[in-house]
Every structure is written in structure tokens, then in C-alpha cells.
Amino acid sequence: MKVLIQRVKSASVSIDNERYSSIEGGILAFVGIEKEDTIEKVKKLAGKIVNLRIFPDEAGKMNKSLLDIQQEMLIVSQFTLCADCKKGTRPSFDKSAAPDIANELYEKFIQEVALCGIRTAHGKFGAMMDVELINDGPVTFMLEL
């Protein structure tokens, strides 16, 4: 499982030129589900992300988590994070989970973040989406399990 997170001032997803969901600050999470991923991995990574201290405290140091500041998370499925680009010039998606399994684990990730007390918004699994964001920092991290 790979999740690329960005600290954002705002972020939104549009489908067919219509706003689908948005947040007004917090974390934008791009989620890639691989064949070997499990519900246990989903739970562990969701918990880690909401507790990751990537937001500034009063002194400007990254010392606060999403839970501490009670902002939101926009969660977007992105199977291309699972691509292997080591050989040749065409990405291989052999490591990506099958769509039905990936969708199930993606939905579970959304649920786990919400269970932590974070308001969530999300994209639509398998859809072509336009994602807009204002990256805060910029602050971007890649998490893998």
C-alpha cells in the first residue's frame, strides 16, 4: 500500500467538470492499493497518517497531527502509485490490486480515517478525476507498508 499525502490549504475533486468533493484544509491523500495489501495494513496506515505530526505548532515546528488540529482529509484512489517504472519506458501495473479488491480496501481506508474522528471527503473509485489543491508548504510525504 502506498499513500502520497500532501498538507493542503484546500483541495477538491471534480468529475465531468462538476465538483464532487472538497476540503478546506488538512491532508490530501492519494491511495494506491497493491496485491499484497490487507485490512490490517489499511488500519495501520490510516492511524499513522491521522497521527503524523506534519502541521506547525505555535513555534512553527511540525509538531501537530491532523487529529490535533481537527482538519479534514480528502482521499483519492490512485492506482498509478503502484506502477513499476524500473524497466523500459512503459510503467508496469502488475503490483496493483484487482479493481474489486482495491475498491474494497480503499473504502475501508476512508472508513478507518473517519473512525479516528476526521471528517473525510473522497474521490470516486475508477473515475477520471480532476484534482485541485493548494499545497501548504509545500509539504508532501510518501508512506508505504
Find out whether 116 and 65 touch, Cβ atoms under 8 Å. Answer: no
Distances (CA, A) of 106 to 62, 72, 76, 126, 135: 28, 17, 9, 11, 23
Percent of the chain that is helix, strand, coil (3-state, to 5): 25, 40, 30
Distance of CA 11 to the CA centre of its chain: 12
Residue 140 among the catalytic residues: no
**Gap between the Cα atoms of 23 and 12, Å rounded:** 6
Of the listed 38, 80, 89, 120, which one is catalytic? 80
Of 116, 132, 35, 118, which is closest to residue 76 (Cα–Cα)?
A: 132
Give me the active site residues, please: 80
